[in-house]
Structure 1
């Protein structure tokens, strides 16, 4: 059994998700201590419990300590069974993070699967659906499998009640390299809102047009039905021949529309200013499929502690080491081998 100290490195929920996914892929049982020890509210939250429950369901696994607030869990995997599954977080907890836990095992299963995930789709602290659909899954599909995701209903914090549907056609993962993102194809900005004043989204788009110089054609406001709110997110997208980046700013109490937009614009400028293939969040998520594929390489901006923590967990299960080497242009070459 592998034992992982959940307080090491970034010390968040990613340790739990990656450990359960890798446990199912490798067949190795895992014990995680000091779960989310570096968070303001340590221990498992509802979305982490749902993610582990999902891992148990698809893999015939068993888990000790599976309660909200638990600081130690032991996961014993069984055999992954493809099929049709529905998992509901029950809060605004992220559907995308639940998907991260079960996706790799189902990509290697012997038959297609269909998932219905209910909860948050656009909430702070997790990749929004748009990032998963337009940034991460296209790279995953390039590795061999076919994954199609559909957003049925938006789910914002604190209400949740969103739903996504995912179709998975499994295939062996092949190694790829993402060293250059290619020529620029276009940019867009969307201020998405529901059950809130229209002026909030207008102010966000005004900042985008001023800070990034994007035109009216490239930046717009979209209002959702009021019953899907209240909620607000600003999505900035940059498309290239080989990669796409989506930067998001989440509307929250106490954060002005202008502040949210300026922070998002600064992050997008940072990505556009270098030649890296992957932004920081895509870099985090590429490590797991590349390790399962047996290796791979890509360039990214400065690696986060999140990515380095993921690399450490992955090495414990697979023996694959990840190197982060800064290049002359400022970007980093990440190699999994």
Structure 2
């Protein structure tokens, strides 16, 4: 938006709010970056006509977050760029009569131009994997949320005893560059807990601690002990797909044979390599690490860390994991736009 262009309701609210706190026209202009003429005009229109919008009011349900609410959201973001939507919603609802849901907070932040993503630190995509990612996105671009509800997502990950910021996302406005220095460099430590988990739109699945990196035999036990019971319970009509990645043990012959034996109960959806941004379980891993990071008493040994991971996983809200699945249509769209390249997820 240009300085001489039509101001958004949010910017008008910021101007009015700044003037009402006692800032002069010049101070408001310096603080917000608009001209003194613009500051004077907007505040005069509000004072004389209570005008807070330059656009025609549209029909429909009244917005739950007004201009003042957006200003409060803006302050909350700037106070803590690493805050989760749940944390922002809780802080916003403190002391207000008309509380909002996480969905409303997320939608409002998007309307205000905020995005939530992590700095890209992964390995550079190979040309082959970029092509495979694009092919996967093209094959699933017509899938709707209803289709993605039939997929159970899975993956394993490691949580460090010394919390790493490597997966932490930060809020930034669309016109801002995403500066990795704002979250610092990831902390490297040997003390960590490996876990595997699965979930779907319908239900949060099991979380299983892993003592060492998985091999084919370990993965086969996971499939028999956890994948099959989950799939046959959640998808009794045999219309579900179990998602897995492309690591070595996922493609072992014994694993392929096992899934083939059970193809009458559920199918398999295999993601292309280097595609954690397509897998919505990463959204849940982010949520778990954030919650552990803000605990009043931080884990000091691996057993405490394991207990914390298990506890936080079990408390993930239905809204959180359903939103992760509902984001799949957007994730596929982002891969298509990037021509198979890395995305904002």
| TM-score normalised by L of structure 1 | 0.24
**More strand, by proportion:** 1
| TM-score normalised by L of structure 2 | 0.23
**More helix, by proportion:** 2
Larger radius of gyration: 2
Q: Which has the higher contact order (CA 8 A, sep 6+)?
A: 2
